[in-house]
Chain A
Amino acid sequence: MGTVASRWLTCPMCGFEFDRDDTLCAHGCPLGALCNLLMCPNCEYEFPETPRAISWLRGLLGRKQPAASRLPAGVRPVTQLAAGEKGEVLCLGGRNGSRYSTLSAFGLVQGSEVTLVQQRPSCVIRIGETELALDLEIAEEILVQPRP
């Protein structure tokens, strides 16, 4: 996720997520490399890029950059359900066959209904009568469609 987050930016104004190369003023701006502002291609809000030190500090405090991917309406990582909210698993994320098969042995597969128990310090989800604790990193890759 880290490598993705460094290229993908989230506009602090409108929340639009975009590629660093898509920033509006990147081409032909006379300030060029001297300018350290980025402009959101959606709302044209200009903002400074988060310095490394700050992202590092955030990482240290356990605050992750928001997941940098564009998902269909409603779909979100299981960690972003509210505690007690249910969702249907759309994909287990990652390309990790052995993790897939481990999760499936606990009854977690595409189409399972999961309930979020808690997000931190480790994500705990319930699938039927099974409660499963997962690394946050794993849980963030599991995408669900919330259910009422």
Chain B
Amino acid sequence: METIRQASGSIESFLGVGSSTALVLTWLVILLSVYITVQIFQVASGGTLRTRRSRGNVTLMLGQCGAGKTATFFRLRDGEEVQTVSSLQLSRDKFPIKAGENADQNLPSVEVVDFPGHLRMRGKASDMLPEARCIIYLVDSEDKPKLKDVAEHFYELLTHPDMLELHTPILIACNKSDLGSARSEKFIVEEIEREIEQMRVSRGATLEGQDQADSYLGIDGEKFKLMEHSPCPIQTCKISAKKNEMQPLYDFLMEQYA
């Protein structure tokens, strides 16, 4: 208080105004400086703070119906093989993941969400994007016609504002690799790229009132490359939930939660 009074006194003499006006002025200056400090502090720390807050801590499992999301979910959780039907509801659980024999290869506790893949449901998955730390996108390597839908979903995901902001890493896990007719990762990625390329034309031609997918994916006039032109890091791998060949998936999770 003493310093304030002194400051106001000096302002009074310096500007030649009344004592009450000087006091008000002093207070104003103090408040202003406090406000500016707070602002500066926020701007300085804001960038890192915000992203950390908004990207969540959940592993989100997406993919088409029948790609093996629920099976993989329970493989991760209990290491057991289960029988599944099409999900009507998301399953969500927090559990430790055993990636290997050693303790340092295990993750203490990871929250995993298995989101239904039916087209009617999958739109709601985008609401979960802010919560996601990483996305495991399961693809049925055997089902080529479904890749059209996969590509469409990717287009929606990759142009979603949350993805553009958060750069959530995606692992494309080509499931059912144990089957004889399974396609290779390369084939699947190329197929998705080709479909997205076609979609760019139609999506680019937005109808009035069309939301989200307004933004253009990739670089105009260039062939679309999933790995290079995506707003987020994308990896691919080959797994089999049925045969319990899931090592790449564990590696990915270890990397993400390290």
A and B pair up: no
